[in-house]
């Protein structure tokens, strides 16, 4: 399998060459397909078969395969795709009231335009200047990089965000996750430690009280025994 990245119209040639270890195979039938549609190959040499493609729009993108049938069946696959967008795999973690900045990049390719989306249930809502201008700020740092800044975070901002890059031959998306924590979250470990200390001090105090009470009872019994003896 081979991935071929294209961002604009181009002429390309896909070629399948039979490896030397399969040179013993004879009477091979070669079939080229785009998805399930059979297409004819144009050029053929002794152990190589190729097709030439003119990719003008997204309709010609997708998967192409060549299959060689003989004593054995051998296949090769080519995936024509638009550039992938680099987002961030790990969630971005921030706290209520803070500002979060999410970044998307297109390495080596320049998008025509960028669009940001926020996920609301199963629906994706486009984020633009008209959508809460005092909440979202979009900066295109360079032609290949875009930033989404979310101001005054609340727990409602927690969720999945998408950046979409538009290329001449199609669109590509990057996925980012934002985790907004309550201000109580960093206090929880501290409160837990305080609670443990209070419980421990209470146990020590009760033990001391019990010990003193036991000692007093022992002294009273001893004094009673002495009085009886007298």
Structural domains in the chain plus CATH codes: 5-80 (2.60.40.10), 94-183 (2.60.40.10)
Between CA 103 and CA 92 the distance in angstroms is 10
Phi-psi region of 32 (alpha: psi -120 to 50; beta: other; left: phi over 0): beta
Q: Which residues pair with 55 in a beta bridge?
A: 10
Over residues 107-115, the mean pLDDT reads 92
* pLDDT per position as a tens digit, 56-68: 998 899 999 998 8
Over residues 122-126, the mean pLDDT reads 86
**Angle subtended at Cα 67 by Cα 2 and Cα 71, rounded to the nearest 5 degrees:** 130
Q: Given a cut of 70, is residue 131 above it in pLDDT?
A: no
Average pLDDT, the chain: 83
Buried b (16+ CB within 10 A) or exposed e, 169-202: bbebebebbbebeeeeeeeeeeeeeeeeeeeeee
Between CA 130 and CA 128 the distance in angstroms is 5
* pLDDT per position as a tens digit, 78-105: 999 999 998 777 888 999 999 999 999 9
For the residues of 21-72, what is the DSSP string, one character each?
GGTT--S-EEEEEETTEEE---EE-SSEEEEEEEE-SGGG-EEEEEEEESSS
* pLDDT per position as a tens digit, 171-230: 999 999 999 998 765 556 666 676 677 788 778 777 778 777 766 666 666 665 555 665
Say what the pLDDT of residue 169 is. Answer: 94
Say what the pLDDT of residue 17 is. Answer: 85
């Amino acid at each position: 399998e081979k991935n071929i990245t294209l961002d604009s119209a181009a002429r390309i040639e896909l070629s399948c060459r039979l490896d030397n270890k399969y040179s013993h195979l004879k009477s091979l039938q070669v079939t080229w397909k785009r998805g399930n549609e059979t297409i004819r190959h144009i050029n053929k040499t002794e152990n190589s078969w190729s097709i030439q493609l003119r990719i003008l729009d997204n309709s010609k993108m997708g998967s192409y395969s060549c299959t060689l049938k003989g004593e054995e069946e051998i296949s090769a696959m080519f995936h024509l795709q638009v550039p992938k967008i680099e987002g961030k795999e790990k969630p971005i973690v921030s706290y209520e009231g803070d500002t979060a900045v999410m970044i998307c990049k297109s390495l080596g390719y320049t998008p025509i335009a960028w669009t940001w989306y926020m996920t609301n249930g199963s629906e994706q809502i486009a984020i633009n200047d008209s959508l809460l201008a005092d909440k979202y700020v979009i900066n295109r740092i360079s032609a290949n990089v875009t930033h989404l800044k979310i101001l005054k975070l609340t727990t409602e901002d927690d969720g999945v965000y998408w950046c979409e890059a538009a290329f001449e031959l199609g669109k590509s998306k990057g996925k980012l996750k934002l985790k907004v924590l309550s201000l109580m979250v960093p206090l929880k470990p501290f409160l837990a430690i305080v609670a443990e200390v209070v419980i421990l001090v209470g146990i020590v105090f009760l033990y001391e009280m019990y010990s003193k009470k036991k000692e007093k009872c022992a002294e009273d019994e001893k004094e009673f025994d002495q009085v009886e003896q007298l």
